[in-house]
Structures are given as structure tokens and as C-alpha cells.
Structure 1
Amino acid sequence: MFRLPAFPALRRRVDRWAVSPRALDVIAALSAFGLMVLDVPGLARADNSLSGVTATLALAAGASALVLRRRLPWVPYAVALGLMGWLHELTMIQFALYALGRYRGRRAAVAATLLYVAVAYGLFQTPGWPARHGDTLSDFLSLVVPIGVLAAGVGVAAYRHDLVHALEAQRRDAAARQAVQEERISVGRDVHDLVGRELTVLAVRAEVLAVRARGDAHQKDFEELADTARRAHLMLNETLVRRADRDAATPGLEGLTVLAAESERMGSPVELAVAAEAKALSPLRQAAVHRVVQECLTNAAKHAPGLPVAVTITVEGRDLRTEVRNPLPKTPPDRAPVSTGTGLFSMEERVTSMGGTLRARAGDGVYTVTALLPTGLDG
């Protein structure tokens, strides 16, 4: 059926495993230091007045600048240029260019790469830099330029990937808010149609009684009752915003057989069991049940096509219980279902707006959605 409810638990589990951004910065610094330590023997032998210990300390100090790569990525970049000129070290510049591309975008990455190439070219023409390479242009083009371009390019790709994820998260949030808003409008329409109908009946009955009681002491009371019902209906119209082309009110439990028939035509047989006590509850509660079952059957057809669905509606004490169950498919559908992923939000908004709860869970190969609504009855 609908797989989204299983995601929050998975998301919480992943969050427990996830490393904080600050920790990732420390890991990046340690990784750069670990790679640069491999060059310590060569640095100690080079003519730069460094021993093995001092070279290690210098590299550690330089790598520590990477902890600032998110907030101040230009700092590790400047340190990397310094290490490149002083110790002929190219490892740090790769981390720095990646950080600029990742956290400052394409323009900063291009500018930093061009500056790096210019500085490196000037250093490359300096005798003794790098110690083991000649000063030919081919050595420069085959070593220095690819290092910078690749590191910056990977960083820019990661930057765009982050943007896509952020936009997707915003889109999901907007879709969820829209689904909730649409469900609130739907609830308002149902309230207007169902309660408004009862107020109209009350007004008409009161007017009839007023006519019958003409000349009687209660005539004025019936007339006031009719006026009160009409004013209440008018206030209901003014309070609830309705679209001009609004649909009819959500059906009640009598519409479940139609939903079951539609589901069976889509290939998912439905076993429907509705307690007689539930049919005596208010139209608004029945409309909420209809909405939940409708969404569940739709999601079952999307995510578990061809599998049977069991719908059980009972009254348990003061709760109206709606339970929809279907087996999970052993293999996913050939094609990914077309889904906005907002059905759960709509169902939850409908149920919680009436003081109920909604729970969706998967276990033992079965997907179950359970909605509990207060019956509104005493006892």
C-alpha cells in the first residue's frame, strides 16, 4: 500500500548513523593529513630545513584549516597555496578546491582554479619545484592542471546535488502543506453541506410549528428559533470559504461499496466489513472514514496491485475504528507508481481535525492503516 509511513522510522535510523557536518570537517582534515603524511620522508630530505617531526607538525597545522571549509573555505585554500609553494605539497589544494566548489558554487570554484593554475605555473617554472619533475609544459599540464580541475569539478557537482536535494525537500514540504490545506477545505465543505442541511431543516420545521401555533403563546418562540437557525446558516456560509465550482460533500459509509467496486475493477478485491453501529454515527465521522478508505484503496492499487484488501469498520467503546490491511507484494511493481506522496498527510489532517489518530505500519508482510475517531457518543 502506501510506503511513506515507513520512511520516518528509516529516516530516524539513518539520522542516528549520520555524522554531523562538523565531524565531517574533522574527518576531511584528518584524511588530508593522512595522505600528506605519506610525503613526510621526502619533505624531511628536501632542502627546506624541516625534519620528520617538524614536517609532520607543519602538515598537521595546514590540514587543520579544513575544519573551516564550510564557513570559510577560502582559508584552507590560502593555506593550501602556501603549502604548495613551500613544501611542494599538492594534496591539500585538492581538498581546498573541492570545498570551494561544494560550498561556494561554480563561480568561486572557477576563480579559485584559475588562480591555483596561475600560481602553480609560476612555481613550476621555479628551479627545484617540484623536485622530481622537469620544467616542461607537458609535465605541468599532465599533473597540476588535472588535479585542480577535477577537484573543483567534483565540488561543483556536489554543490548542484545539494541544491537539487534542497529543492526536492522544499517541493515535498510544499506538496504536503497543499495537501493539508486542500483537506481542510474539503472538511469545511463537508461541514457546510452536512451541518447546513440540518440547519435548513431546523429553520423550516420551526417555521411550520410557528404557523401551527399561530395565536398561541409559543408562536414567538418558534419564530425566534427559525430566525436563529437562518442566522446560523448564514454565519456558516460566511465563515467557511467555498469554491464556486465545489464538489458535492464526501459520501458516508454508504459510499464504501462504490469504492470497493472500483477497487475490484482495478484488480484489487476488497473484503468490506462495516458494523451496524457505525452507520448510526454522524455524517462527518462517516465522511472521514470514507476519505481514509478511499485513500488506502488508491494506494493499495498503486503499490500492491492485484492483492486483496481487507477493510474493517467497527465501534469499540467510544472509538470508531477503521482498519485497512493488504499484503505487501513480494516483488515491486514493474513500473514505479505515480504518486505525489501526500495522501498520508491528507488522511492524517482529516482524522486529527476530528480529534482522532492515524497510524500506518508494515510488518509480517502486511501493510496496515488504522484510524481511530471518537464516536461522539456517551458511554
Structure 2
Amino acid sequence: MLQPAALWRALSAPGMWPARRIVGESALSLLLMLVAAGFGVLGDRGVVETVGVALGVGLLSVLRRVLPATVLLVSSVGSVTLPGAGPLIVIAAWSAGRRIGGLGRAAGVFALAYGLSLGLSVAWEPTLLSPSLLALSGLWLLVSLIVPGLAGRYWSQRRTLTDTLYEYNAQLIRERAMIAGHARIRERQRIAQDMHDSLGHQLALIAVHTGALEVDQELTGRQREAVGVLRAASVAAMHELRDVVGLLRDGTETPGPDGAEPAPDGDGEDPGTPSRGVAGVDSLVDTSRRAGTPVELRRSGEVRPLAPTADHAAYRVVQEGLTNAHKHAPGASITVGLRYEEDSLVVEVTNRPAAEPAPGSVAHGGQGLTGLEERARLVGGMVHAGRTADGGFRLAGVLPYTSPGVAQATFVAAPDDFRPQIPAGSFGEMGPVIDGNGLPKELAKAMSRNKRGSGIAIGCGVAALIAVLLLAALIVGGVFLFREADEAMIEPKQYDAVKVGQSEAEVRRQLPDGDSFLTSGVEKGAPPVPEGARCLTLLSTEFGSSWDAEPVFRFCFKDGELVEKKSFEVES
């Protein structure tokens, strides 16, 4: 038994009373209190007693969550003398079955409650000592006390098992994600090493040889300028390759101090590569001009800052547009436009038609535009590419100033992997932790549907079991009542057929023995019994003159013969 202070702490514990539970418990308590008050009114009990029982039932309904065993025992005892507390037994039994820990303790509490209810019922109503009536009372207690307790305990165990399986499944998913993450990291590191060893070496050779060629005295100024462009492009390519390798290895781009580009790692000289954002567009345009291509840069609108991913995407649009123009329309004039609209930056690269066909040796993989479309999509923008009216080509991108917060997606572990794509940057950790709220939508929905379906099936099974037990109780009770009625009731014509003066043996052969609980209490308010006589009291099969009047037939015997028979009514 909890002390008052401990009981209060248990009732006021954080999370004990969410809004939904408060509403449900209030409605349940109010319903039980109304039922208890209704029983009190129908039983002609006093106002104080009726209100007290109703308040007690409401209080016990709330306390059953922290004192399940105590509430069950109190309800079992109270229902014997206070019919209004009877409905509380079902709720208390269900709650006790769910909350009493330990099979032995639960069995002991329910056995004690069952014994107290049955024993006090017999003590309160001695007529229940009849074997048939005792069996009926025991069956009713089984249905109202034991069955809800078993159902509640089964529900609790099933929920515990489901939670355990759910946690185990989440742990397996978590381990699988960790294994897949480590496998991806190893594969990315291998790819990064291969790129560094192969492309890095070739680009370093190009940078070294173009650097040496640039200082060759035999070259003209125009040739030396073209070689300088090649050298700058090769060194810039090494910088970008190093950034890509770092991204593959670590999952994040690593800027240098103060946000500047990182210094070279010895593969070549650092020409001061500008930022790969809108600020670097001037450098791209200047490089194209130094290569001998007329390029015009137009800016319009009020300059607005972009998110880093959108800023980088704008740089890539200009870079891709210039590269395509150089490859497919060499020598044609190019116009680069940066137009700051109210909600987005519009980046355009338009080139005139080529004066002569591009050399067939120019290699192109067709992946540049696809990559740009993906970059733009991830920042909430879009990319369009197509021919112009004069036969030229136009590449345009619309990039919002604020990113929608969609993380850049990376690789998925396997084609059958049901997990969503993992945001970039999560590979540096131990892998995504997938708990009950982080499961994939399809898996969570399937588990929720299976859990709901299992709950419905279990609920239907429990309801069917209770219905079967109630039907069995009704059948047994009906048979029992019919038998008791045969022992305690006669028709008026049977009463009229008996005459005063007949022998007792003859009369008793014509009438039932009256040994039934139905005849208990009918002597109250009956006429006086003749002195020295023994009487047989039976009920009539007909209704009385009012709802609370019970017609009674009484036969009194003395010295072996019937000396009196009376017909009267008593209050039921």
C-alpha cells in the first residue's frame, strides 16, 4: 500500500496524464458514477449513501492506474453490498490484469478477489449455499472478474512482446545501416584514391609542361597567352579534382581558412583559383576571353545573397554553358547574364551559331546537363537548355535565394534497400539511427497496419470469448431459474384445487416442496401463522396488483392435515 506522499507522486508523475487520457478517464469515471447513482436511486437508498458510493466509484476508477490490486480487492468487496460498485469490477479487473507484475502475484490477487466476492456473497445471502445457485454465482464472477483480468494481462504481454520485437527490428535496421554506411565509405575512399592517382598525375604533368612552355622564348605573345590559359585551366582542374576527392573521402567539402579555397597539396602551383560561386563568374568569363572568344557579361537587378548550394549551382551553370559553347560553337560570341529577380536568380549563357562545324575530335559525355538539372532540383530551382531562334544555343537556370532545405542525396546501399537516401554529411558518423519514429514511411505504415489488424483480431477474439461465456452463463442461469420456478411457483388453479382438511401428505404430493431461493423473504408482511402449525409458502405464476407486489400462496399444516390456506401479496 502506497503512502499518501508516494501515491501523490505516482499520480502526478510527468507524462501520467496526457490530454487524451484525462478526457478518457474523466468520461469513464463520470459514466461509472452515473451508473452507481442509478443503482442507488432504484434501490431506494439514501441520498448520502448514493452520493458517497458514486464518489467512491469515481475515485477508485482513477486510482486503479497506480493501485490496481487494491482497487480490485476493494471493488470486489464493495460490489457485494453495494450494487452500484458492480460495473467497476470489470474495469478494475482489466486494469489489474495489465498492471500487476508477476504471474504469481497476479494469480494471488485475482484468486483473493474471487474468493472474497464469492464468500461475502454467500455470507450476505445464505440462500446462495444451494449448489446450483453457488455454481451460477461462481460462473458470473468468472465472467465479470477473471475473464477481463485474463484479457488485460494478455493485452499487456502482447504489447510488451510487440515493443520488444519493434526495438529488436529497429536495432537490426540500425546495424544494417551502419554496415552499409561503412561499405559506402570504403568504396568512396577507393574511388577517391583512384581518381587522385590517375587524373591528379595527368593534370600535374599538364600543368608542369604548360608552365615550362609558357616561358619558352620562341613563342609569340599570342601563343604564350594561350598556353597561360591552358596552364590556369589545368591548375583549376586540379583544385576541383582535389575538392571532389575530399568530398568522396569525408563526405564534406573542406574550405581553407576564412572560407578561401584550400591550398594545393604539391601537385601544382596555386594560381589563386577564385570562389566557385557567383563571385567566380568574372574569372570564368575572363578565362574565356583570354582564349580568344568574345564574351559579354550582363548583370541586372539588385544583388542578393544565395544559399551556398544555389551559389555553387549558379557557377556550374555558367561553367557548363561556356564549356559547351567552346566545344560546339568555337569562336562564336557568348553572352552571360545574371538577372536578380524578386525571388530567384536567373543565370543565362547564350552563344551565337558557330561559323564553322566543331572538330569531330571534341569529346563530350552528355552528362553535364543532367548533373546541372539535379543540382538545380536539389536547391528548388530548374534548368532549361535549347536552341535559339538564330540557331545558337541557350542554357538557363532559375535558382531561388533560399534553399528549401532538401539535403543533397548521395548513394543508396543497394537496389533493394528500403531506406530513404541518406543526407550528405551523415557518413562521418556511425550511420543513421533508425528508431520507431524514423522508420521509412512504407515500413512504418505496414507495421502500423499489421499492429492495428492484430489488435482488431485480438479484440474480436476476446469479445467472442466473453460473448460465449455470457451465453453459457445465460443458458445455465435460464435452466437454473426454470428449475427454481418449478420448485417455488404454482398456478392459481392448483391453489384452488387444494381443500382445507386434506392430509398433509396428499397436499404435498400435489404441490412443489418450495425449497428455492425465490421464496426467501416472502414471510415479511405475511399474516400470522396459526399456533403450532408449519407452513409451505409458494409463489404465484401470475403478476401482482402492482409492480412491487408479489402474490403468495401459503398452506399451513397441523397434526398431519391442512388447517389453513391463504392467498396474499407481499412487497417484492
Q: TM-score, normalised by structure 2?
A: 0.34
Which has the higher relative contact order, 1 or 2, with Cα contacts under 8 A spaced 6 or more apart?
1
Greater helix share, structure number:
1
Larger Rg computed on CA atoms:
2
Q: TM-score, normalised by structure 1?
A: 0.48
